[in-house]
Structure 1
């Protein structure tokens, strides 16, 4: 159910503690030449739609800006601070709580948002410990990716404009992918990149972190549907716990 498409008269009877509300969050950032700047917004919105449908929940309009410190100097990238993003999400959560909702699911298709979302979740917990807040990024994606990946993983966490993320787009939004411009540009990340601030232009000039030419819609379908199963499981558990209170 699209939250913003409801009207005030009708939604009042649909606001219930055990009805999840999903907030999709993405970013505007460089994704090479074959994917648009709003790739993460497209993925976040379409994934959240599926999650809300499978859990009988509402989905909010996508929050289109995120924390993009690593890619902020690439053409087209826009960034918020962690503090700003955390405050935005926290205040949305407060508003939902005041309306009567008790399950707030934040799905981010951009990994860089997760620090801010965890902070927002903690802020909401401190205010409303009876509210279930979940911040999700494709559960178990890395282990699932290992089952379909033809290329080598270039990082233990990152998937960006590579075989994996391009496959997600080919499944969810093929019309937004230009495979004629896809390239293979696996970077060599500095050894200290995981524990010291490292702008990505230090190891890539394209923002493509892998072999995008190996992407397929079939791989994307496997990854989306399998991670979605886990996401649904997480939300259904929260619904059960709310009902049992």
Structure 2
């Protein structure tokens, strides 16, 4: 159910029947020559829609901007600070709580938003004690990705516009992928990038971290569906604790 398409006269009764709100959160940033700037938004939206079907939830309008400090200097990237994002998410959560929602799930399409999601969830834990707050970033994807990838990951945490993320797009939003422009760019990411601020232009000119040409819809479907099953599991396990 798309929350923004409802009207004010009917929504109260509908919330009484489904007290789950799902917020897609993405970013606007460089994703190589074959994927759009809004890749993370598209992935978060499409995944949220699939999740909503399984848990009978409302999909909120997408929050389209994220913390993209590492890629902020690439053409097209739009960066907002963590503290700005945290305040925004907390305000949304409090408003949902006031409207009667008892579950607020944030579906993240951009790794860089992780800190803000966690901190906003902690703040809502203190201020909205009767509302469950969940934050998801493809739970279980690492194991699933390792089973299907044909190239070694460029980094133990980062994946970007590569074999994996391009496969997500081929499954969830194929109309926005131009595989004729897919490239192979496997940068040597310095070890100190994990311990000191490191803009990505220091090790990549494309923002691609891998071999995007190896992406397939089948790989994306396999990983995304495992992540989706895990999200539903967390919903159900949280419900059982109430």
* TM value normalised by structure 1: 0.96
Residues 14-163 of structure 1 correspond to what in structure 2 (within 5 A)? 14-16=14-16, 19-163=19-163
Task: Give the aligned CA root-mean-square deviation in angstroms.
Answer: 1.1
Deviation at 1:240, TM superposition (A): 3.1
Superposed CA offset, 1:11-46 (max 9, x none):
111223962110000000000000000000000000
CA distance in 2, matches of 1:201, 1:142: 25
Residues 189-208 of structure 1 correspond to what in structure 2 (within 5 A)? 189-208=189-208
Question: What secondary structure does 1:29 align onto?
Answer: coil
Out of 28-37 and 152-161, give the one that drifted further.
Answer: 152-161
* TM value normalised by structure 2: 0.98
Unaligned runs of 5+ in 1: none
Please tell me whether residue 186 in structure 1 is matched to residue 180 in structure 2: no
Structure 2 residue aligned with 1:4:
4
CA distance in 2, matches of 1:111, 1:216: 21
CA contact (8 A) 2:18 2:56 kept: no
Cα 1:125/1:17, change in 2 over 3 Å: farther
CA distance in 2, matches of 1:4, 1:240: 29
CA contact (8 A) 1:18 1:239 kept: no
CA distance in 2, matches of 1:3, 1:164: 30
Superposed CA offset, 1:97-144 (max 9, x none):
001111000011100001011110011111122211011100011111
Superposed CA offset, 1:199-234 (max 9, x none):
101110100000000000000110111110001111
CA contact (8 A) 1:71 1:77 kept: yes
